[in-house]
Amino acid sequence: MAERLVPSRLSARNILRTAVVGVNTRRNRSIMSALGIAIGIAAIVGVLGLSNSSRSNLINQLNALGTNLIQVQPQTGIGVGNATLPTTAAGAISRIPNVQDVSQEIATGANVYRSSYVPSEYTAGLTVSAVDPNILTTLHGSLAQGQFLNAANIKYPVAVLGANAAQALGIISLQGDPTVSIGGRNFTVIGILNTFPLSPDLDSAALIGIPAAVSILGVANTPTTIDVRANPNDIDSVLGALAATANPENPDQVAATRPTAQLEAKAAATSTFTELLLGLGAVALLVGGVGIANIMVITVLERRSEIGLRRALGATRRHIMVQFITESLILATLGGIAGVVLGVIATVIFAEVQAWGIIIPAEAIWGGLLAALLIGGIAGLYPAMRAARLSPTEALRST
Amino acid sequence: MGESTAVGPVPGTEQPTQDIGDETLVADLAHVIKDYPGPPPVRALDDASLQIHKGELSAIVGPSGSGKTTLLQIMGTLDRPTSGRVEIAGYDVATLSDRELSALRAQKIGFVFQQFFLLERESALDNVANGLIYRGINTGERRELAAHALERVGLGNRLQNRASQLSGGERQRVAVARAVVGRPAIVLADEPTGNLDTRRADEIIELLEDLNHDGVTIVVITHSQEVAARLPRLIRIRDGQIVEDSGRPSPRTGQPARSS
């Protein structure tokens, strides 16, 4: 007589329909409960985006500088006076184990002019540095055109211009062997450099050979800066030996610094801070999840009659459970999407202001949405189980 | 008359034997007892036996606390009896799981409640279409059937109105449409006029009478003597016992043969 009774399976679309009703009916409350999740996800996405953007900026700088560059300079300050480095310092340093490259710079105090007719006060902020020919290697510089100083020409009045200096002097080409005036003497320009990523001082300088500086400009042969490239794995041992090697008589008059040390510290500090903020974001997310669970429990209490009606219309316990879990998932997903959008916007604005490259890791976005879904599911589980356990008569009794 | 071996006569039943396995029998309750555990324990139904046939329009009347709502819940398979046999649309409720009971309600039983129970933000059309959502009918067909049902109850021009925009009488019409849209074997109406003024109440009763003329089997539960007196069959319940049953009227005469 009677065929077997099989409850219908709700299609995904119908499950969504039943769940959207609840979300839609109490819009304000839905927004408020999704907000908790949104703030948590926004915090996490924002923190990951910002820290990645800022760290990428630092790492770019570090890569440009090379972390193994050490600069040795005479110690300046109260009680030291105008200390100088001994002429022999560079040679001594080059004999320290694990030192890969050494080059000297001498600030000549002279200025460079387009010609001897230019009044001497029109320096355009350009300086003249006497350097070793290998400084290009040590400082990771490169030539835009022409050639650099070499053993054959360092005694002669030839100059290589830094990128800014060439521009300021109006020398864009080496055709016709342009000359510049340094200390009243004409120097032939033999090369023009690209920008130094790490030594902006040299961009605004004319570089000449040390022997030429000594003989032509009468500069003392005491280096003002010695650039040292050390084996990246033995930087500390090189650092320890530098002062005593450079100036054995007065090691305290030697200052050895790593230009990248500060940046490294900054990068490290940023990552510690990131972990802290991520922790805070996770707490916000947890609170958001509890908020959703809370709202769902209240919702189930308030909507007993709807549950009763649905059971009367033929909903199984499973149908009811799925409906409420789906509602919770919808709330969390809405919150998650809003959070990702907020986090991305915050990152973009902040990175723009800081002129950083914008890097928002894809894991932050997917992870954020996934976390939201997970939290929604967990938060909805208990209320949904309560809704499903409600007997139809009990549900219908309350009004 | 189909023969059924699944359902045997219950000992002590005084029903005529030709009713057993009767295909026109949509609700068959025999010696139903329903106890609610205390404290204090309450016997809401005490040995209630009742048969509802296809095409009947019956009233179950009794004061509040008489057990009439319990009777409706048991007939509607929302609750199970403590003892006794309940058969709805040919299915013995005791043999069905909770899931199967849900399916039975989805396919065979329509409900109308005193509080209407409409989803306020949904349109009249969607509220009625919701009556079919658990029957696995797709959205387009649900809406089509719902539109017909709403036209049938006189709300053909209110399909897209939200439930919250409708008057009480209109809301109850929507609820009636939702109950009948799936062509259930039986419609159970629990105080359908309880929240309505006299005029709207009359209209709802007239609507139920109309639907009954079209062949819908309806049981109305009410505490109103007035409402009950209008319906062809009157079943009176007091203290969980059926104390009066005018019996199955001869079809369409509307004159019940009183037998109390």
Q: Strand, helix or coil at B157?
A: coil
Q: Using CB atoms and an 8 Å cut-off, which of residues 293-312 of chain A contact chain B?
A: 305-306, 308-312
Which element (helix H / strand E) includes A100?
strand A99-107
pLDDT surpasses 80 at A93: yes
Q: Over 60: is that where the pLDDT of B8 sits?
A: no
CB nearest to B79's CB, from A305, A310, A393: A393
Q: Look at B134 and A309 and tell me if their CB atoms are within 8 Å.
A: no
The alpha carbon torsion through A323, A326, A327, A328 (nearest 10 deg) reads 130
Q: Which residues contact A183 (CB under 8 A, 6 or more apart)?
A: A108, A110, A128, A216, A217
Residue A158 confidence class, pLDDT cut points 50, 70, 90: very high
Same domain, A277 and A248: no
Same domain, A91 and A228: yes
The nearest CA of chain A is from the CA of B256 a distance in Å of 30
Number of domains present in the structure of chain B: 1
Q: Is A171 exposed, middle or buried (0-12, 13-18, 19+ CB in 10 A)?
A: middle
| A7/B131 touch (CB, cutoff 8 Å), yes or no | no
Q: Are A159 and A272 contained in the same domain?
A: no
Instruction: Give the residue from A204, A227, A259 where a domain finishes.
Output: A259
User: Rounded mean pLDDT of A16-41?
Assistant: 85
Mean pLDDT within A268-286: 80
Is residue A3 assigned to a domain? Answer: no
Res. B38: pLDDT tops 80? no
Q: Does residue B5 carry a pLDDT above 80? A: no
Last residue of a domain, one of A259, A282, A299: A259
Segments forming the whole domain that contains residue A124? 69-259
B103 contact residues in A (CB cutoff 8 A): 5-8, 314, 316
Pairing of strands B57-61, B233-238: parallel
Among A209, A225, A259, which residue terminates a domain? A259
Confidence of residue B250 (pLDDT cuts 50, 70, 90): low
What are the tokens at A367?
């992870």
Q: Which residue has the tokens 């300088």?
A: A205
Q: State pTM to two decimals.
A: 0.69
CB B103 within 8 A of CB A8: yes
A312 CB neighbour count, 10 Å cutoff: 30
Instruction: Answer yes or no: is A30 within a domain.
Output: yes
Q: Is residue B156 situated within a structural domain?
A: no
- State CA A293 to chain mean position distance: 37
* pLDDT band (50, 70, 90) for residue B14: very low
- Chain B residues with beta carbon closer than 8 angstroms to that of A8: 103, 106, 134-136
Q: Which of B23, B120, B131 faces A313 most closely, judged by CB atoms?
A: B131
The count of structural domains within chain A is: 2
Identify whether residues A194 and A287 lie together within a single domain: no
Which pLDDT does position B57 carry in this prediction? 95
Rounded CA gap, A380 and A372, in Å?
12
Task: Give the pLDDT score at A251.
Answer: 84
Please tell me the predicted confidence (pLDDT) of residue A384. Answer: 95
Residue of B nearest to A7 (CA): B103
Chain-chain contact of A305 with B131 (C-beta, under 8 angstroms): no
Query: How many CA atoms does the CB half-sphere of A31 hold within 13 Å?
Result: 2
Whether A261 has a pLDDT exceeding 70, the answer reads yes
Tens digits of per-residue pLDDT, B73-115? Answer: 999 999 999 999 999 999 999 999 999 999 999 999 999 999 9
Is the pLDDT at A198 greater than 80? The verdict is no
Asked if A1's CB is within 8 angstroms of B4's CB, the reply is yes
Residue B17 lies in a domain: no
Query: Residue B227: which CATH number?
Result: 3.40.50.300
pLDDT at B21: 55
B-chain residues near A23 (CB < 8 A): none
Q: Is A149 helix (H, G, I), strand (E, B) or coil?
A: coil
Identify whether residues A78 and A50 lie together within a single domain.
Answer: no
Which range has the top average pLDDT, A264-268, A392-396, B237-241? B237-241
Q: Indicate yes or no: CB of A14 within 8 angstroms of CB of B89.
A: no
**Residue A103 sits in the same domain as residue A246:** yes
Mutate to test the interface with A, among B23, B117, B122 (most CBs of A within 10 A): B117
Q: Are strands A185-193 and A179-182 parallel, antiparallel or unpaired?
A: antiparallel
Q: Looking at residues B186-206, what average pLDDT do you find?
A: 92
Q: Which are the contacts of B24, defined by CB distance < 8 A and separation ≥ 6?
A: B53, B54, B55
- Please list, residue by residue across A258-269, b when 16 or more beta carbons sit within 10 angstroms of its beta carbon and e when fewer do: bbbeebeebbee
Tell me if residue B27 falls in helix, strand or coil.
Answer: strand
Does residue A8 carry a pLDDT above 50?
A: yes
Q: Tell whether A108 and A30 lie within a shared domain.
A: no
Q: Is residue A4 part of a domain?
A: no
The per-residue pLDDT for range B208-228, each reduced to its tens digit, is 999 999 999 999 999 999 899
Closest CA to A290 of A319, A332, A245, A254: A332
- A361-391 confidence digits (pLDDT tens): 888 888 888 988 999 999 999 999 999 999 9
